[in-house]
Structure 1
Amino acid sequence: MGYKVLVTDQIDEIAVKILGGCCEVDYKPVLPAEDLRAIIKDYDALMIRSSSKVTRELISDAERLKVIGRAGVGVDNVDLDAATDKGIVVINSPEGNTVAASEHTIGMMLSTIRHIPSADASVKDGRWERSRLMGQQVFNKTIGIVGLGKVGGRVASVAKAMGMRVLVYDPFVGRDLAEELGATYVISLDDIWKSADFITLHVPKNKVTLNLINKDTIARMKKGVIIINCARGGIVNEADLAEAIQNGHVEMAAVDVFDKEPPEGSPLLRLGDKVVLTPHLGASTKEAQINVAVDVAEQIRDISQGLPARSAVNIPSLKPEILGPVKHYMGLAENLGALARQITDGAAREIEIVACGELAALDVSPLVIAVVKGVLCCSSEGVNYVNAPRLAERRGIHVKKSASTDSESYVSLLKVILTTDKETNKTTGTILGEDIPRILRLAGYQTSIEPAEHMLVLPHKDKPGMVAQVATLLSGENINISMMQVGRKVRALVGGESVMILNVDEPVSDETLVQLQKIDGIYSAKYVNLTAK
């Protein structure tokens, strides 16, 4: 069955052209919610803008859906929790409309301080009101920017070029970035509230930012402040803002986004020339719409071909800049997790991932996800990089990561320590050269073997004839051995414990495992299935 994509919400048709080269695409630019829910079960990917609402109910009906692509920045019209629970990756285009949104912000600021909408209406109405429409310069004024992402950063650069003093607040970026832009980094929003002549918002809508601008925060602002919101509706409490404009504490406001769109009944509609209101135009340029359509379509195309997305909202640790340095370890990490799970009895309680050597200096968050996925896939269906961390949390499995400079004689090592309610086992591996994976430690045994789809792990007494007996039995079952390693316990003496690890060409049945365990000296026989590449 081919990869099937539904494109809706008036997305530029260049997206259809990009996807059409590798997928079956249906383009339905106008699709009522009930119609979308009726057909969503047939699609692997959904590409939308802001009109379609991807609810938990819709997601529950999406039997095949693997990816939801939002052609834009905000994803507040997508139920991220429901998508993550179902293992659906949600992608967006965080940079496609950066220029458009930042230019609109600057335009809105100038429209307020120079009364451009009122002046336009006045002239068209036959009036000439130069004295009433006296404006101010932005030069030497202070602008407070809340959120220093791509849009906020570009606004900061333009404002600085216009001679403004720029204050920025963003707890998720460092002081260095602000200073590179010539801005002053502040550690408290109160520093913005009390000093800024203009306040502009560039943050997502979430539990922290909902009603960020409200009666209390406005009271701490400088009298005569001008507030600009081209980010998300709901960040500003519209009733509180309207009241502050009416009582004169806020001079003016420029608003492009609303709590409810269209903003029927909003108190801002009754404030005349004290507000500049636009109908969510921040990203509405021809160039921006092409950019976001291309960006999201290319990501869906990549996902359909097994490649990672550049901008996965619900798996940020797999963004290319984080994934790139450790990408060659992803398959090994998943296999180490799966191997540890399949040789360890009991219910999982803790997974520890230890990065050693050169790996210790890198962000190994993608490898943590891969290990967790490997562990959980052994007992559950539908586990992927999207939902693995959440599934582990819900099952009460504690996941932690640590680092060590000790990598023995290897450049890097990755260790996975799995603790269950019955025992603890450790697996260790490395990548030789650029792409040769090796398992080096297994439950206290030393070895060096390449992970394979079908493996046998046979702890046994270290004595002559063990390998021959195992090989003879497997031969009698017509099971071919492609690779074998025998390793002793670390620092074990001759005649102590050893392990046989065999890569075989096909699955091993339970009946064969029972026969292997009957061989004198075999302590246990476990079949391991590894699927990560």
Structure 2
Amino acid sequence: MYKVLVKEKISDAAISYLEEHAEVIIGYDFGEEEFFKNIEIVDGLIIRSGTKVTKELLDRARNLKVIGRAGTGVDNIDIDEATNKGIIVVNTPDSNTISAAEHTLALMFALVRNIPQAYISMRDGKWERKRFQGKELAGKTLGVIGLGRIGYEVSIRAKGLKMDVIAYDPYMPDKRFENAGIKRARDLKSLLTVSDIITIHVPKTKEKPEVIGEEEFKYIKEGAYIINCARGGLINEKLLYEYIRNGKVRGAALDVFTKEPPINNPLLELPNVIFTPHLGASTSEAQYRAGLNIVKSVLDILNGDFTPNIVNLPHTGEHIEKIKDFIKLAEVMGSLFVQISKMPVDEIIIEYMGEPSSLNTDIIGRFFLKEFLTPIVQDVVNYVNSPLIAKRRGINIKEIKNPNVKDYKNLIKVIGHSGNTYNTLAGAVFEKGDLRIVMIDDYPIDLMPSENMLVITNMDKPGMIGKVGTILGKYQINIAGLRLGRIKKGGMAKIVLNLDNEVPRDVILEIAGQEGIVDAIFVKLQD
């Protein structure tokens, strides 16, 4: 029978279920020495956010096969080291959806009716009815940034309160908005200018850690409220403080902070800011689901079954060895495709031509979807759950296998449809580890992908490359490589530049504003 160490508290029902299928070691009170001693003998480990799973710990875990995180975040686990050791990491991202949505609404009610402030006033023996006059929610416009699991649940509940709901999510298909009767904002600016209350429900990414920063604050409607129950740092807290102080923002409700706990955070001193200590998932129901779901996932892994919430994938085994170059190509293409696609995608067609058509294309496609979805969803996306998340977002996935291919030994081609418009991307493996992008939006090209790239659409006429090079040189941005592609002489063309460093937004705008240049997109690929 497998041994599972439960290091942090989960529901009694989850423990009872686990005890029916495994030998359970309860380690709630373990110190470091006892923890390290027991990790040597167990097959599974279940934790929450309070346990650090470090390389030092994993080096002692000779039998460990799976780590279960009861909750969503896995930043307390050394994922790379776990993967290197063939240890699977699983979590429970769906367990707190309703709780987080309800907490958002609770903060919204409390914020507009001054409930915490009135409570404190009465505790002090006061009776200040005029001071705490609030506002109705009915008829107000709620701006929802991110229409994923939690954002959607918040939206449909707000509709029930007779609020007008507008949402911004460039990666969601129109159908998701239409089904819920939610107005779609064409961009973030158009949402901010009309919203009486703004709530954020998007992931925090390395590429864009701030959703509401200096530029966005300029467009916020006078007297608006802001709510953040998603991730700390999505709002520039310094600017939020300033805009509340000067009255442009009426108030804020925060469950998360850039630094937690928020010691010496000046926002805590403002009378029209209310806050809770990261309680979005803290309900008995969410904790019950998290515990039971993580126990079932851990047991699935130990019994050799797949579970929908695997965070990592150990790159071992002969089947992975045969397709690892195509997996890497698919990851590069997924990351590139999401950054060059300017519209929400409702269908993705992946065509495998030549050599990959005879391989396990299902796994290859899952890795493409993992990289395509990761920047745009709140969930941790992995190769197992990526098709499920795509389906939830209304994206139809179609796979085509074609053993015949012209010009290349192998080719993977992706077409992303949004109504009557589409984007295309194709890539190939030339030699072992030599990955190339050979087509972008139907333009043939021979591109070796790199960490920093600039993709430009321009008129095919003299002087275009010179204009771009002059601007980049002015800002000390070095060009490491350059590739050109066009369909016909004198039509439109693509310029793709490999760069040594990132391109600031204002430089991109300057390039895009040049005569003859239609578009300029900076692309960041992670190692």
Aligned residue number for residue 195 of structure 2: 196
Return the alpha-carbon distance in structure 1 between the equivalents of residues 53 and 71 of structure 2. Answer: 15
Return the alpha-carbon distance in structure 1 between the equivalents of residues 164 and 247 of structure 2. Answer: 24
1:206-217 alignment runs, 5 A limit: 206-217=205-216
Question: For the structure 1 residues 135 and 91, does the alpha-carbon distance in structure 2 shift closer, same or farther, using more than 3 Å as the test?
Answer: same
Say if 1:4 and 1:45, in contact at 8 Å, map to a contact too: yes
Deviation at 1:418? Answer: 9.2
1:366 aligned to which of 363, 367, 373: 363
Structure 1, residues 333-375: CA drift from partner, whole Å, max 9, x if none? x88777899xxxxx9999999769xx99xx95436679xxxxx
Deviation at 1:6? Answer: 1.9
Instruction: Report the AA paired with residue 311 of structure 1.
Output: N
Aligned residue number for residue 268 of structure 1: 267
Aligned residue number for residue 407 of structure 2: none
1:311 aligned to which of 309, 312, 316: 309
1:513-528 alignment runs, 5 A limit: none
Instruction: Report the AA paired with residue 305 of structure 2.
Output: L
Say if 1:4 and 1:44, in contact at 8 Å, map to a contact too: yes
Question: For the structure 1 residues 138 and 37, does the alpha-carbon distance in structure 2 shift closer, same or farther, using more than 3 Å as the test?
Answer: farther
Deviation at 1:293? Answer: 0.7
Are 1:176 and 2:175 counterparts?
yes
Return the alpha-carbon distance in structure 1 between the equivalents of residues 329 and 118 of structure 2. Answer: 65
Aligned residue number for residue 43 of structure 2: 44
Aligned residue number for residue 248 of structure 1: 247
Question: For the structure 1 residues 33 and 139, does the alpha-carbon distance in structure 2 shift closer, same or farther, using more than 3 Å as the test?
Answer: farther
- Which one is further off, 216-225 or 156-165? 216-225
Instruction: Report the AA paired with residue 232 of structure 1.
Output: R
Structure 1, residues 259-291: CA drift from partner, whole Å, max 9, x if none? 3332212222211x3111111111111111111
Are 1:108 and 2:107 counterparts?
yes
The alignment yields a C-alpha RMSD, in angstroms, of: 4.0
Say if 2:142 and 2:199, in contact at 8 Å, map to a contact too: yes
Return the alpha-carbon distance in structure 2 between the equivalents of residues 348 and 199 of structure 1. Answer: 42
Aligned residue number for residue 285 of structure 2: 287
Question: For the structure 1 residues 130 and 16, does the alpha-carbon distance in structure 2 shift closer, same or farther, using more than 3 Å as the test?
Answer: same
Instruction: Report the AA paired with residue 111 of structure 1.
Output: A
Return the alpha-carbon distance in structure 2 between the equivalents of residues 182 and 289 of structure 1. Answer: 31
1:210-225 alignment runs, 5 A limit: 210-225=209-224
Say if 1:88 and 1:386, in contact at 8 Å, map to a contact too: no
1:83-102 alignment runs, 5 A limit: 83-102=82-101
1:57-72 alignment runs, 5 A limit: 57-72=56-71
Question: For the structure 1 residues 98 and 23, does the alpha-carbon distance in structure 2 shift closer, same or farther, using more than 3 Å as the test?
Answer: same
Return the alpha-carbon distance in structure 1 between the equivalents of residues 26 and 199 of structure 2. Answer: 36
Return the alpha-carbon distance in structure 2 between the equivalents of residues 226 and 142 of structure 1. Answer: 11
Identity %: 40
Question: For the structure 1 residues 149 and 369, does the alpha-carbon distance in structure 2 shift closer, same or farther, using more than 3 Å as the test?
Answer: closer
Return the alpha-carbon distance in structure 2 between the equivalents of residues 34 and 242 of structure 1. Answer: 44
Instruction: Report the AA paired with residue 207 of structure 1.
Output: K
- The SS at the match of 2:310 is coil
Return the alpha-carbon distance in structure 2 between the equivalents of residues 268 and 92 of structure 1. Answer: 32
Deviation at 1:209? Answer: 4.7
Deviation at 1:71? Answer: 1.3
Return the alpha-carbon distance in structure 2 between the equivalents of residues 187 and 38 of structure 1. Answer: 56
Question: For the structure 1 residues 225 and 3, does the alpha-carbon distance in structure 2 shift closer, same or farther, using more than 3 Å as the test?
Answer: same
Structure 1, residues 431-462: CA drift from partner, whole Å, max 9, x if none? xxxxxxxxxxxxxxxxxxxxxxxxxxxxxxxx
Aligned residue number for residue 302 of structure 1: 300
Question: For the structure 1 residues 101 and 406, does the alpha-carbon distance in structure 2 shift closer, same or farther, using more than 3 Å as the test?
Answer: same
Instruction: Report the AA paired with residue 278 of structure 1.
Output: T
Return the alpha-carbon distance in structure 1 between the equivalents of residues 366 and 85 of structure 2. Answer: 16
Deviation at 1:9? Answer: 2.6
Say if 2:165 and 2:182, in contact at 8 Å, map to a contact too: yes
Return the alpha-carbon distance in structure 2 between the equivalents of residues 109 and 30 of structure 1. Answer: 38
Instruction: Report the AA paired with residue 126 of structure 1.
Output: G
Aligned residue number for residue 524 of structure 1: none
Return the alpha-carbon distance in structure 2 between the equivalents of residues 177 and 94 of structure 1. Answer: 20
Deviation at 1:245? Answer: 1.5
Question: For the structure 1 residues 25 and 338, does the alpha-carbon distance in structure 2 shift closer, same or farther, using more than 3 Å as the test?
Answer: same
Aligned residue number for residue 132 of structure 1: 131
Q: TM-score, normalised by structure 1?
A: 0.59
1:401-440 alignment runs, 5 A limit: 403-404=400-401
- Unmatched 5+ stretches in structure 2: 331-349, 368-381, 385-397, 405-411, 413-427, 434-527
Deviation at 1:252? Answer: 0.8
Aligned residue number for residue 435 of structure 1: none
Say if 1:256 and 1:282, in contact at 8 Å, map to a contact too: yes
- The SS at the match of 1:121 is helix
Question: For the structure 1 residues 5 and 196, does the alpha-carbon distance in structure 2 shift closer, same or farther, using more than 3 Å as the test?
Answer: same
- The SS at the match of 1:195 is coil
Structure 1, residues 87-129: CA drift from partner, whole Å, max 9, x if none? 3332222221211111110000110000011111222222111
- The SS at the match of 2:193 is helix
Return the alpha-carbon distance in structure 2 between the equivalents of residues 364 and 50 of structure 1. Answer: 35
Aligned residue number for residue 530 of structure 1: none
Question: For the structure 1 residues 43 and 280, does the alpha-carbon distance in structure 2 shift closer, same or farther, using more than 3 Å as the test?
Answer: same
Return the alpha-carbon distance in structure 2 between the equivalents of residues 55 and 187 of structure 1. Answer: 43
Matched length: 362
Instruction: Report the AA paired with residue 309 of structure 2.
Output: S
Aligned residue number for residue 494 of structure 1: none
Say if 1:169 and 1:185, in contact at 8 Å, map to a contact too: yes
Aligned residue number for residue 256 of structure 2: 257
Deviation at 1:136? Answer: 0.7
Deviation at 1:40? Answer: 3.3
Return the alpha-carbon distance in structure 1 between the equivalents of residues 323 and 81 of structure 2. Answer: 30
Deviation at 1:308? Answer: 0.5
Question: For the structure 1 residues 282 and 369, does the alpha-carbon distance in structure 2 shift closer, same or farther, using more than 3 Å as the test?
Answer: closer
Aligned residue number for residue 441 of structure 1: none
Return the alpha-carbon distance in structure 2 between the equivalents of residues 348 and 131 of structure 1. Answer: 67
Say if 1:5 and 1:25, in contact at 8 Å, map to a contact too: yes
Return the alpha-carbon distance in structure 2 between the equivalents of residues 186 and 55 of structure 1. Answer: 43
Return the alpha-carbon distance in structure 2 between the equivalents of residues 67 and 336 of structure 1. Answer: 21
Question: For the structure 1 residues 354 and 36, does the alpha-carbon distance in structure 2 shift closer, same or farther, using more than 3 Å as the test?
Answer: farther
Question: For the structure 1 residues 77 and 194, does the alpha-carbon distance in structure 2 shift closer, same or farther, using more than 3 Å as the test?
Answer: farther
Return the alpha-carbon distance in structure 1 between the equivalents of residues 91 and 266 of structure 2. Answer: 32
Say if 1:349 and 1:420, in contact at 8 Å, map to a contact too: no
Question: For the structure 1 residues 231 and 79, does the alpha-carbon distance in structure 2 shift closer, same or farther, using more than 3 Å as the test?
Answer: farther
Deviation at 1:405? Answer: 6.5
Return the alpha-carbon distance in structure 2 between the equivalents of residues 105 and 17 of structure 1. Answer: 32
- The SS at the match of 2:175 is helix
- Unmatched 5+ stretches in structure 1: 317-333, 342-346, 371-384, 388-400, 408-414, 423-533
Point out the structure with max Rg over C-alpha. 1
